[in-house]
Amino acid sequence: MKPADPTEERLGWLLCSPAVLAMLVVTAYPILYAVWLSLFRYDLRFPQERAFVGLANYAGVLTSPVWWESLANTAVITLGSVSLELVLGMGLALVMHRVLFLRRSVRAAVLVPYAVITVVAALAWKFAFDPVTGFVNPWLGVEHAWLTERWSAFVVIILTEVWKTTPFMALLLLAGLTLVPQDLLDAARVDGANAVQRFFRVTLPLMTNTLLVALLFRTLDAFRIFDTVYVQTRGAQGTETVSIVGYHALVTRLNLGLGSAVSVLIFACVVAIAVLFVRGFGASFSAQESGEDGQ
């Protein structure tokens, strides 16, 4: 990298110290406090019974089938929604990139679902798939109570997620598309490459970094899914995600120790995903894109 100039480096640290301080206060402190709480038996209803229990809460969570089931559910939703979003988002990005007329209107229209609040979107799709009030059953000519069975409930949840966040994916990919030099594409065309070849041989390889960053962002986001599931099934029919498990322990059962252990484990999963992307797939944040990844 660049040769380090001590004064410049010091200035650099000085300049980013307010941001570092802010991050420490709003991010590091709550995380460390959650780690601390997770080592205690601590029920908000019986504060006098608070006691240090070491890793017992983690043992309780990790030996529970509820945790592993919810982790598998979260994985299904994450993989399902992110892969669909990638394909559809790429399609939308290409449309937005290549569109010849009404360019701004098209781009604005694509972004509309992303502007809808998640809870509203989740409710709207819940009603759409409702056997009594919904339009999906009549359109498909079926009679199915979608949210009362596991796999069809997953379909509804994943579709809602895809509908809602594909625009975000498309926007990230569009930024990548604009970085592909037109000269290269023209050169490939002169060499006789057709559109499909140009896309797979020129455009995609040049977008690897953007793709990985987009995937990382969406995977981290999808892994923490809460609102869609909470609104549509409340975690019933075996669709419970890790965030809902944490919510039940913390908010419903007021069990701060157990709930914090779940939160810390979710955090560990998120870190693992980020490390996997950065180390395993070599996603890198180039100078312009550098920033905080997930939480």
Partner 1 sequence: MIGTGTTARARRPRPASQSLAMLLLALIVGLGGCDGGAPAVPALNWYVFDEPSGAFAEAARRCAEQSDGAYRVVLQPLPADADRQREQLVRRLAAGDSAIDLIGMDVIWTPELAAAGWILPWPQDLAQRARAGRIQATVDSASWEDRLWAAPFTTNTQLLWYRTDRVTTPPATWDAMIRQAEALGADGSIQAQGARYEGLTVLFVSLLASAGGSVLNADGSEPALPEEPTRRALAVMRRLARSPATPPGLAGAREDQARLAFEAGGAAFMVNYTYVWPSARANAPAVARHMHWARWPAVAPGRPSRVAIGGINLGVGAYTEHPELALRAAACIAGAEHQRLAARRGGLPPTTAALYDDPAVRETFPFADLLRATLQDAVQRPRTPLYNDVSLAINRTLHPMANIDPERDAARLREAVARALHSRGLL
The residues near 46 (Cβ < 8 Å, ≥ 6 apart) are none
Question: Which is nearer to partner 1, 85 or 240 (by Cβ)?
Answer: 240
Question: Which is nearer to partner 1, 83 or 152 (by Cβ)?
Answer: 152
Q: Would you state the structure tokens that stand for residue 130, as one six-digit string?
A: 């409702």
Question: Which is nearer to partner 1, 66 or 175 (by Cβ)?
Answer: 66
The four Cα atoms 32, 75, 154, 140 give a dihedral, to 10 degrees, of 130
160, 154, 176, 276: which is closest to 219 by C-alpha? 276
Read off φ and ψ for residue 125, nearest 5 degrees.
-70, -30
Question: Which is nearer to partner 1, 177 or 250 (by Cβ)?
Answer: 250
Nearest distance from C-beta of residue 77 to partner 1, angstroms: 18
Nearest distance from C-beta of residue 187 to partner 1, angstroms: 58
Burial class (CB within 10 angstroms; exposed 0-12, middle 13-18, buried 19+) of 128: middle
Question: Which is nearer to partner 1, 41 or 189 (by Cβ)?
Answer: 41
Interacting residues with partner 1 (CB under 8 A): 41, 43-46, 60-61, 63-64, 66-67, 131-132, 145, 147-149, 234-237, 245, 248-249, 251-255, 258, 262
Nearest distance from C-beta of residue 140 to partner 1, angstroms: 16
Nearest distance from C-beta of residue 45 to partner 1, angstroms: 4
Angle between helices 150-179 and 208-223 (to 10 degrees): 150
Nearest distance from C-beta of residue 5 to partner 1, angstroms: 39
Question: Which is nearer to partner 1, 6 or 138 (by Cβ)?
Answer: 138
What is the CB neighbour count within 10 angstroms for residue 134? 15
**Cα–Cα dist 262/37, whole Å:** 11
Nearest distance from C-beta of residue 66 to partner 1, angstroms: 4
Q: Would you state the structure tokens that stand for residue 132, as one six-digit string?
A: 């009594």
